[in-house]
Amino acid sequence: MPPAASNAIPALMDAREAPARGIPTLACAVWFLAAAVVVFAVVAAGWLPETYPSHFDISGKPDRWSHGPPGAAWYVVAGVGAAISVGVSALGLGLRRIPADVLNMPRKEQFLKLDAAAREPVYRALTGMLLQLAFVVGLTFLGIQIAMLGSAHRGSMGPYLAFPVGGLALVIVVLVANVVHVTRVVRRATGG
């Protein structure tokens, strides 16, 4: 075998160990969803009746109403949802640029002693967690917009309450599952 061919692949890496390159598909999905939340708010604003709810009590019944064209209450929900989703995804993608000593994680002292290659699986797990959370937060805010629109026509959230409550439940499930996963990855990386 010629020398060039033997050096063509210096080391084979498991896909889980390979460093992430480019922008992950999930990050693109988060950004698309954030844009969809804003576009939905703009388009659905035309579907609002003259009087629509702008605040809800704990049971999902409107306790404050707005009149006329959609105001800040309508657009703020979409803007906040999009900003949180994009911000959390950007944090996930830029995680490696943040000094490791400011990260809050289990077995932090052992993690700080690891070299860059040994830290990579932990960074990938943290990035995945943040991107997944950004996505489900975007879904939750889209659900809130849908519930607000539905309640504007119905007078109460009724069945539309399932959208924001389901979104919140999904955020909790994704967060808990990822905390467990990240903890396991950190333990493996630090030899514990």
For 86-132, write each residue's pLDDT tens digit.
999 999 999 999 999 998 888 899 999 999 999 999 999 999 999 99
pLDDT at 6 over 50: no
* Band (1; pLDDT cuts 50, 70, 90): very low
Q: What is the pLDDT of residue 181?
A: 95
Give 25-56 pLDDT, tens digit per residue. Answer: 999 999 999 999 999 999 999 998 888 887 88
* Band (155; pLDDT cuts 50, 70, 90): confident
- The region that residue 173 occupies, defined by phi over 0 for left and psi between -120 and 50 for alpha, beta otherwise, is alpha
* Average pLDDT in the chain: 86
pLDDT at 60 over 80: no
The least confident of 6-10, 138-142, 152-156, 187-191 is: 6-10
CA-to-CA distance for 167 and 143, rounded, in angstroms? Answer: 7
What's the token pair of residue 35?
Answer: 């844009």
Q: What is the pLDDT of residue 52?
A: 82
More confident residue, 69 or 21: 69
* Band (61; pLDDT cuts 50, 70, 90): confident
| HEC per residue, the chain | CCHHHHCCCCCCCCCCCCCCCCCCHHHHHHHHHHHHHHHHHHHHHCCCCCEEEEEECCCCCEEEEEECCCCHHHHHHHHHHHHHHHHHHHHHHCHHHCCHHHCCCCCHHHHHHCCHHHHHHHHHHHHHHHHHHHHHHHHHHHHHHHHHHHHHHHCCCHHHHHHHHHHHHHHHHHHHHHHHHHHHHHHHHCCC
Q: What angle do CA 38, 43, 47 make, to 5 degrees?
A: 130
Share of the chain above pLDDT 90, in %: 59
Closest by alpha carbon to 119, among 136, 101, 132? 101
pLDDT at 9 over 80: no
* Band (152; pLDDT cuts 50, 70, 90): confident
* Packed helices 116-154 and 72-93: angle between N→C axes, nearest 10 degrees: 170
Q: What is the pLDDT of residue 156?
A: 78
What are the boundaries of each domain within the chain? 21-189
Q: What is the pLDDT of residue 22?
A: 67
